[in-house]
Amino acid sequence: MQFSKLHLVLSLLPSTLAQYGGGSGSSTASVAAASASPSSSTPSNVKIIDVGEDGLTFSPNSTTAAVGDTIEFHFYPEKHSVAQSSFDSPCTLMNNGTGFWSGGFSTDSGENKDVFSVLINDTKPIWYYCAAPTHCQSGMAGVINPPTDASTSLTNYIAAAKNVPTSQGGTAVSGGTVGPAKAASSGTGTPTTSSSASPSASKSAGVEARAGAQWLVATLGSVVAVGMGALMV
């Protein structure tokens, strides 16, 4: 009998979500539905870049991403990091530290349980490198949304990186979040929310709708939690 009460609360979730999405376009509904259901596959708006899985490289080293996509850096042994630079100053934090910085990741074996996630806000080129000693100079660098101009190629960035005496790391994690991957198969269906997904006036309607949908799902999640709590007393 108690189980059936809980079941009722859970069964209300999909229809409530459908109502939320119905007024403002199907994309909102599908994002909400995708966030609400446990999944072992990577959502289509998440792009994975493996750090150090194939030696001192990022795989892939060139990635195309759209506004609203999330880049997930997945870390492999032994010690690596991800830092953003300008094209002109390889291995050096962009704008005196306003670019993203993952912090250092130490991984004993396999894939680190935490990832570094960065939200893509525009399609301008993003250059990044690993700040572990000598890694950037050895070519451990990559680009998101590479420019078409041949003079600003990853090959040229890596060639210039060889001449940079010391790589620069940051002090505190910035420009992204450290936490479990969205692609994690052990998830309970709770959506991954972060401060970087909060709506703001400068963001597109799509991003706002998505943040709103995540908030709704989180709220419904607490309704279920309250329902379960009530069943326990």
Ligand X SMILES: *[C@@H]1O[C@H](CO)[C@@H](O)[C@H](O)[C@H]1NC(C)=O
- Name the site residues for ligand X (rule: CB under 6 A): 61, 96-97, 100, 118-121, 126, 139, 154-155, 158, 175-176, 196
**Residue 29 and residue 32: Cα distance in Å, rounded?**
5
C-beta closer to ligand X: residue 97 or 206: 97
User: Nearest-5° angle of CA 221, CA 48, CA 198?
Assistant: 40
Between 39 and 194, whose beta carbon lies closer to ligand X? Answer: 194
**Collapsing DSSP states into helix, strand and coil, what is residue 92?**
coil
| Position with the least CB separation from Cu ion | 130
Which partner, ligand X, Cu ion, none, binds residue 216 by CB below 5 to 8 Å per kind? Answer: none
Q: Which of 118/140 has CB closer to Cu ion?
A: 140
d(CA 12, CA 101): 41
Residues 174, 82 contacting (CB under 8 angstroms):
no
Amino acid at 70: T
C-beta closer to Cu ion: residue 130 or 211: 130
Q: What, of Cu ion, ligand X, none, does residue 29 touch, CB below 5 to 8 Å by kind?
A: none
Element holding 23 (H helix, E strand): none
**Least distance to ligand X from the beta carbon of 148, Å?**
15
Structure tokens, 68: 């609203």
Closest separation between CB of residue 98 and ligand X, Å? 9
Pairing of strands 141-144, 62-63: parallel
135 binds, among Cu ion, ligand X, none (CB under 5 to 8 A by kind): Cu ion
Residue 80 site contact among ligand X, Cu ion, none (CB < 5 to 8 Å, cut-off depends on kind) = Cu ion
Rounded to whole angstroms, the Cα distance separating 84 from 80 reads: 14
CB of 81 to Cu ion, least distance (A): 7
Question: Smallest distance, Å, CB 139 to ligand X?
Answer: 6
- Give bridge partners of residue 62 from the DSSP assignment: 143
Phi, psi of 216 (to 5 degrees): -60, -45
115 contacts which partner out of Cu ion, ligand X, none, CB within 5 to 8 A by kind?
A: none
Match 């001192």 to its residue by tokens.
56
CB of 102 to Cu ion, least distance (A): 11
CA 179 – CA 160 distance, rounded (Å): 32
Measured from the CB atom, is 37 or 98 closer to ligand X? Answer: 98
> Could you list the residues that contact Cu ion (CB under 5 A)?
80, 130, 132, 135, 140
Q: Which does 118 bind (CB under 5 to 8 A by kind): ligand X, Cu ion, none?
A: ligand X
Between 148 and 155, name the residue whose CB sits nearer to ligand X.
155
Q: Is 92 exposed, middle or buried (0-12, 13-18, 19+ CB in 10 A)?
A: buried
